[in-house]
A and B are shown apart, each in its own frame.
Chain A
Amino acid sequence: MSSASDGHLGDLLSALLDRELSPAEEVSARRHLETCAFCTTELSEVETARSWVRGLPAVDPPFGFLERLTLDAGRLGLPRSSTRRRVGVAALAASAAAGVALLGLAPPREAPVSPSVARLVEAHATGASAEGDPVSRLAPLGVPVSLRR
């Protein structure tokens, strides 16, 4: 397994999420993650970014879109009198309608979010230290955030 030069997993995190690592590489990567807060945070962020991309929504067809599509077909020179062409345009429109309807009528999905808790804790503690006692406010950041009950 080739790891990043700085000792962290780097691009291997994406490969881990894509299940592209060999079993031995995966074991090694997961073992590293158990002790490396940096890579754990990175993994969470990569995973969140992937889920957001996958969760991109479908688009509702605006009212009149399909009608405009068939009219435009006529403007493009398709003879309205041609039954075969009309059938072709209708089939095209029907296909488009079906496709768009399937996408458009599907309920919007909220993207899954796995908060980057370590980063949020850092944002909180460093913000608090700006106006309070910097020693006791910053000190908890010296402990890798591993949430427990």
Chain B
Amino acid sequence: MRRLVFTTALGLVTAVLAPVPVGPGGAAADTAEEPLRTAGEAAQRTSFTGVLQIRWLAAGSEQTKTLSVHGANGSVVVRGGGSAAMALPTQRLVEHGGEWDLMWPVPQGGAERPDASRKYQLTPKDGPAVAGRATRLVEVHHGPSLIERLYLDDESGLLLRREQFERGAGPVRSIGFDTVTIGSLTPPTDAPGAVVDFAPSPVVAHRVPDKVSAPGRLPEGYERLGVYRRSGVHHVRYSDGLYDLSVFQESGRLNRKGIPGGTPVAIGPGQGWHHVWPGGHLLLWEAKGVVYTAVSDAPLDQVLTAVRALPVTTGSSSLFSRLRRVARSLVQPLAD
């Protein structure tokens, strides 16, 4: 029902085709989170194929990459760089060396995302043609700052181009179709017959280990969606309704060998490192025997503010501590 209201409101707003600023508290404020949701739904129900151009700034220069994307019957496959990722109605998969890894089941069983309209303002406008198709442009502001431009296909609602801004006039990151064909197409592929189950185990809130730092809320409006465990690494997922923030935590001391570069940043009691990946920012740091890796598509200042507020926990319940306890329990009977 809520989704229907959002969609209807967005339709009404965009039907006017006038630059209508929509702020918090306005009748259409609830639509702030809707463009990506609408685009996601359109990607699930629309058949399309095309060539994507992804651009991002790294090391002071623009990087580009061309990818192919194909969607039909609720499945989306993105290929490029010798790898592939797939969104199926019930799974998210990544290909490695010919094998598909199941990364997440859908749904994930976490909490609902917060309402993005509490934080962001949406402004619909007429958009330019993208890949030869008419678009509706939706600008997303955080306070006075423009942070996103979303170009939605006028006819299908499919997201044709996404630009993200942080500082300066130009986008720091963009993903958009160079060419796209929308219409009846065959599914991109069948679901892989055999997959490697790499899906995480959910950790219920009251059983989160003491050593894992997972407050329910972080600054900048980030709320915890869930805590998961995979291959000895705890994964705490947050969202502010528009962006996601993942905080990965593992016991040990940080060894940056094999992770070159990075800009020093202050996080917690020590120094951390900031890296850029094609979809956003990555921060690495260590505190009290725990190595933290934060990954997000949000602007860097938001990510830094959020992760700096993470309480530092002790690593006393580390695997090694547990091993010590197990070893003690094995020897203890000899002393009794």
Cβ-defined contact, A60 with B335, below 8 A: no
B65, CB-defined interface residue at 8 Å: yes
Chain A residues with CB below 8 A from B59, complex form = 148-149
Contact of A115 among B106, B200, B291 (CB under 8 A): B291
Nearest CB on B from A26, distance (A): 16
What is the CA–CA distance of A148 and B281 in the complex, to the nearest angstrom? 10
Cβ-defined contact, A126 with B104, below 8 A: yes
Cβ-defined contact, A131 with B67, below 8 A: no
Nearest CB on B from A137, distance (A): 8
Cβ-defined contact, A134 with B295, below 8 A: no
B142, CB-defined interface residue at 8 Å: no
What is the CA–CA distance of A133 and B59 in the complex, to the nearest angstrom? 27
Cβ-defined contact, A138 with B85, below 8 A: yes
Cβ-defined contact, A136 with B84, below 8 A: no
Cβ-defined contact, A123 with B83, below 8 A: no
B313, CB-defined interface residue at 8 Å: no
Q: Total interface residues on A, using CB and 8 Å?
A: 64
Cβ-defined contact, A143 with B54, below 8 A: yes
Interface flags for B221-253 (1: CB within 8 Å of A; 0: not) read: 000000000100101010100001010101111
Contact of B328 among A62, A115, A139 (CB under 8 A): A62
B331, CB-defined interface residue at 8 Å: yes
Interfacial residues of chain B within 287-308, with CB under 8 A of chain A in the complex = 289, 291, 293, 295-297
Interface flags for B261-305 (1: CB within 8 Å of A; 0: not) read: 111000000000011111110101000010101011100000000
| Count class of interface residues, chain B | 35 or more
Interface flags for B196-214 (1: CB within 8 Å of A; 0: not) read: 0000100000000000000
Cβ-defined contact, A133 with B277, below 8 A: no
Cβ-defined contact, B257 with A133, below 8 A: no
A81, CB-defined interface residue at 8 Å: no
Cβ-defined contact, A112 with B293, below 8 A: no
What is the CA–CA distance of A69 and B181 in the complex, to the nearest angstrom? 79
Chain A residues with CB below 8 A from B318, complex form = 110
Nearest CB on A from B163, distance (A): 10
Contact of A138 among B39, B87, B262 (CB under 8 A): B87
Chain B residues with CB below 8 A from A139, complex form = 52, 54, 67, 69, 78, 80, 175, 279
What is the CA–CA distance of A140 and B280 in the complex, to the nearest angstrom? 9
The stretch of B13-21, B23-31, B92-100, B124-132 in contact with A is B92-100
Which A residues have a C-beta under 8 Å from some C-beta of B?
A: 6, 8, 36-38, 40-41, 43-44, 47, 51-52, 55-57, 59-65, 67-69, 72, 108-115, 117, 120-145, 147-149
